[in-house]
Amino acid sequence: MKKQEFLRILQKINKGGGSEEEKSFLSAYYNMFEAKSDIPEMLSPDKKDLLKKQIKAGLDIKIKKHKQKNSRPYLFFRQIAAAAILFIILGGGITFYLVKSNNRNYAKNNIPPGGNKAILTLANGTTIILGNIKNGILALQGGTVVKKTANGQLVYDASAGRNSTMAYNTISTPRGGQYTVILPDSTKVYLNAASSLRFPTSFSGKLRTVSLTGEAYFEVAHNKNKPFMVTSEGQTVEVLGTHFDINAYADEHVIKTTLLEGSVKVTASDKTAQLIPGQQSQVIQGKNLDTLINLVSNVNLDEAVAWKNGYFQFESVSLQSIMRQFSRWYDVKVIYEGQPDNRLFSGQIHRNLNAAQALDLLNYANVHFTIDGKTIIVSNN
């Protein structure tokens, strides 16, 4: 799309016009901003300033209409969030166009976003806080060299020597943390907040088996003679070489495995599901419920791995689901005043925003928040 056409459609929609096709096209175009870094560069400083003002004016109109009609709030939030992403990508400070709400009672007690934080526990019980330690060699585990790289990754190099003993390490991210580890077989694992991965310092047997709690994205090194296994509470995933995400948080009640590339086999109790790219399995467990495994086709892959790419992304989910993600990333407790909001929300918010900025985007959908220390209080009035 040419710059002039983009601005024309944007201005048309901001004035309350635009066809459904144009709205869908523009929504898709917003999502390209992060992937195509050359898009912001095609706008001059004057054009960027004009674009900001046009979007801000359009948002003000939408807010007024929303307050009058109070209809379909989750679609309204989608529009607000899309514009917010555009602001973030176009330059520093632009986000604050959306952060100027009337609810400023938590501005003095704000909470920063999470970052690269993790604790490595070695086989002998020694713990290493990865965020504080210098880059370089950290340990020798069963003949495998453990290194922290300049780009903040933990790397296990098994090529330096022969492993004489089997040793297990665990990397754990706290609430408000994330980290990346490269396993001895060159498999790359991205850990989300409040997650842990237990793995051997070398894969010497017939299987490559690791254990996960929380959420992780795996880029498994291909080895047809040695399948890769991920065990989590309630299920096992078997692969040869592929890219997939597992969300196995205890407070989510559903284990979701989403396949992006290759093929995986998910086993829960005596049930099995074979996934192809674009599919997601959901394992549901309860105290008095037999394990259920459902196969969901054509899921939104961007939503499943948004956290890895630096975003919160929601597709028709409850406020409680959003706040569970916020609570892990900002390391906060969430309390609800009154009846929980039963609306469904869709949108995308950058994870580098502080808590007040992220919450203000939801404020536009008539959800109100107060930050008290490390607690977020949610109310609908």
Residue among 41, 42, 57, 37 nearest 4 (CA) = 42
User: Distance between CA 93 and CA 87 in Å, rounded?
Assistant: 8
3-state secondary structure of 184: coil
Give CA separation, 290 vs 76, 231, 286, in Å.
39, 19, 7
DSSP characters over 143-156: TEEEEE-TTSEEEE
For residue 285, report the phi and psi dihedrals to the nearest 5 degrees. Answer: -130, 145
Distance from C-alpha of 264 to C-alpha of 256, rounded to nearest angstrom: 13
Per-residue model confidence as pLDDT tens for the chain (381 residues) = 455 666 677 677 666 777 766 665 555 554 444 344 444 455 566 655 555 555 545 444 444 444 444 444 444 444 444 444 333 333 332 222 233 333 344 445 689 999 999 999 999 999 999 988 899 999 988 788 999 998 889 999 987 656 557 789 999 999 999 999 999 999 999 999 999 999 999 998 899 999 999 999 999 999 989 999 999 988 999 998 899 999 999 999 899 999 999 999 999 888 899 999 999 999 986 544 456 778 888 898 999 999 999 989 888 888 899 999 999 999 999 999 987 777 887 777 889 888 988 887 777 667 788 999 999 999 866
Residue 137, pLDDT score: 94
Please state whether 79 falls in left (phi above 0), alpha (psi between -120 and 50) or beta: alpha
User: Nearest to residue 72, comparing CAs of 329, 265, 344?
Assistant: 344
pLDDT, residue 132, reads 81
Concatenated DSSP letters for 59-86?
HHHHHHHHHHH---HHHHHHHHHHHHHH
- CA–chain centroid gap for 298, Å, is 19
Q: Is residue 266 within 8 Å of residue 289, measured between CB atoms?
A: no
CA distance 363 to 81: 11
Fold for 115-303, please state it: Jelly Rolls (2.60.120)
Strand partners, 257: 246, 281
Predicted structure pTM score: 0.74
375-379, strands of its sheet edge to edge: 333-336, 375-379, 368-372
Domain ranges of the chain: 3-99, 115-303
At 270 the pLDDT is 81
Nearest of 108, 111, 83, 109 to residue 98 by alpha carbon: 83
- Identify the three-state secondary structure at position 319: helix
Give me the amino acid identity at 302: D
Contact 313, 302 (CB under 8 A): yes
